[in-house]
Amino acid sequence: MLSVKKVLNNNVLVADDSQYGEVVLIGKGVGFGKKIGETVSETLAEKFFVLKETKEQEQYKQLLDYIDESFIGIMDDLIKIVEARFSVTLYEHIHIALTDHLFYAVKRVKQGLDITNPFLKETELAYPKEYAVATELIAYINRELNILIPSGEIGFVTLHIHSALSRRSLQEVNKHTRLIGELIQVVEESLKLSIDPNDINYLRLVRHLHHAIERIETEDYIDNQELLKKVLQTEYPLCYNLSWKLMKIMQQTLRKAVPDAEAVYLTLHLQRLSKK
């Protein structure tokens, strides 16, 4: 049994748990008629999660001041879907970040405002599993609220899911997505071509850039491609020089050194694209 600390609404309350401290219980009617200090069984809750940080506890309480109870129920369903698909317990911040984001996304749709996402394709390529689940979540909201959320929103939800799974801040995840978009734009301008987003060579390049950024961030590089680098520099000077231009942008954005070996991999990907 838990001790009621604060009733946020009929379906959500904050309680004290002997093991976890302050916890949030979500469930139909779980807070109805409850008073501070009374006991409540966690079995009455459909969802039980911990908000360990005081700042996040306050942020979540503030959300419930302006978000309808029925929407909180929908969000609970969505997070359950994500946890089931990935067989994990999500990083607690998603309860705040995704709820706030989708509440305003729905509000914009109802107001007739458009939702655009210039990095949708790059996001799908970078995080295909998260993208598939995000597509499922948007379809669920559309059915429940009888609205039509634009496909661009799938990309934003994808980033929230990846942020929760990787326990990386949304700001960092967004930075990587924008960086890939910037790099692709530089490639198109330098090679004087318009890339078909369905081209297999484009897909390979975006996936490579995504993994390269992660390796640079974690400094997980052991390759030494000095011999091949010299060959490519001679055979494909345009693509080789472009690879160094891209590496310089990555270095400036990530504020970390980019190993010389990266020029080899990028040159090979760029050469495949330039043949088109």
Where residue 157 falls among pLDDT bands split at 50, 70, 90? very high
- Residue ranges of the alpha helices (H) in the chain? 54-66, 69-86, 94-110, 120-126, 128-145, 152-166, 170-191, 200-218, 226-235, 237-254, 262-274
Of 73-77, 150-154, 183-187, the one with minimum mean pLDDT is 73-77
Check residues 273 and 28 and name the one with the higher pLDDT.
Answer: 273
- In terms of Cα–Cα distance, which of 120, 13, 114 is closest to 69? 13
- Condensed to tens digits (0 to 9), the pLDDT of residues 186-206 reads 999 999 988 887 888 888 999
Query: Helices 237-254 and 170-191 meet at what angle, rounded to 10?
Result: 160
CATH 2.30.24.10 correct for 1-50? yes
Q: CATH class for domain 53-167?
A: mainly alpha
Average pLDDT over residues 30-40: 89
Quote the pLDDT of residue 222: 61
Check residues 221 and 168 and name the one with the higher pLDDT.
Answer: 168
- Condensed to tens digits (0 to 9), the pLDDT of residues 221-271 reads 766 677 788 889 899 999 999 999 999 999 999 999 998 889 999 999 999
26 secondary structure, DSSP code: E
- In terms of Cα–Cα distance, which of 169, 257, 262, 252 is closest to 219? 257
Average pLDDT over residues 135-146: 97
* Range(s) within the chain of domains with CATH label 1.10.1790.10: 53-167, 179-274
What's the predicted TM-score (pTM) here?
A: 0.77
Where residue 64 falls among pLDDT bands split at 50, 70, 90? confident
Pair 41, 2: CB distance under 8 Å: yes
Quote the pLDDT of residue 115: 86
112: CB partners within 8 A, 6+ apart? none
Quote the pLDDT of residue 61: 76
Q: Which residue has the tokens 């071509």?
A: 193
- According to CATH, the topology of domain 179-274 is PTS-regulatory domain, PRD (1.10.1790)
